[in-house]
Amino acid sequence: MLRKTNKRMRKTLLSSIIILVAYSAGAQCTPNQLYADSVYGVWPDTTENFMPGVVNTFYTDTLHLLVPTDAGLIDPAYAGFTIDSVAFDSVSNMPPGLSVICNSQTPAPCTYLPSQVGCGLIEGTPTTTGTYEMVLHVTAYTTLGFFVLPVPQEFGGYSISINANMGLADMGLGTLSNVRTVPNPANSILRVEFTLGRSSNGRVVLFNLVGEEVADQRFTGRQGLNTVPMNVEQLENGIYLYKVQAGGKTFTGRVVVDH
């Protein structure tokens, strides 16, 4: 089970890097250093996915990433190769009206470096309703000795749903939304982030894969972004389920503990 999840996370990493990249050099976002103690990762992943949007209403969502130095963490076939950088090529089937915007970490356009938290934006005003399954295209540049090898990658798994103008509450955004874990994999402290449409009491519960409760954290949430820290230092390495309950809504996701 752990092997399968890590494989999905490796695939998610390169998939998501594309999303960050850019057609506009003027985009501004601030990398969230809460992710800096991860080995690598992308937030949100394909399980959490991007927030839905409303037609003819301005949309923005931020994605953070941390690229590993070892290409073998992404694809075992490239074990022993060092990642020099990852460059965005294109994103297919974006919702009309939206564009991907990168904050490049080098003088080259749309390029991200290993071991540095990066961020990017998807922004614009969507014009057409529907669920858009996106295909993401990147090139990872790896080095072996004095040789630099471009490795093109193409991934699916991300989507954005654009809804009719029916109000935030009807979209599920009025209460609990944008749930993610930081970092994932977690080492000692796991932070569960989420957005509340209104103030609400709630709880975050952590379970092992046989359904046993291993941690329970109560909180008083405020409207907007919230962070609930949980100490996972005493937990064994492996996959856990976390459940966030607030505002009459429940979100369940997975997190990996890896000391």
Q: What is the pLDDT of residues 205-244, one digit of tens each?
A: 998 888 888 999 888 787 778 888 889 989 999 889 898 9
Radius of gyration from C-alpha coordinates of the chain? 18
Q: What is the pLDDT of residue 173?
A: 47
Instruction: Give the pLDDT band (50/70/90) at residue 166.
Output: low
User: What residues have CB less than 8 Å from 225, skipping those under 6 apart?
Assistant: 193, 194, 195
The residue whose two tokens read 């998610």 is 12
Per-residue pLDDT at 97 exceeds 90? yes
DSSP 3-state of 18: helix
pTM metric for this prediction? 0.57
Per-residue pLDDT at 14 exceeds 70? no
Residue type, 242: Y
For residues 104 and 23, is the Cβ–Cβ distance under 8 A? no
User: What value does the mean pLDDT take over residues 84-94?
Assistant: 86
For residues 229 and 189, is the Cβ–Cβ distance under 8 A? yes
Per-residue pLDDT at 47 exceeds 70? no
Q: Which helix (H) or strand (E) holds 14?
A: helix 2-20
CA 44 – CA 254 distance, rounded (Å): 12
Per-residue pLDDT at 204 exceeds 50? yes
Instruction: Give the pLDDT band (50/70/90) at residue 34.
Output: low
Instruction: Give the pLDDT band (50/70/90) at residue 22.
Output: very low
Residue 33 token pair: 């250093």
Q: What is the pLDDT of residue 13?
A: 47
Q: What is the pLDDT of residue 122?
A: 81
Q: What is the pLDDT of residue 170?
A: 45
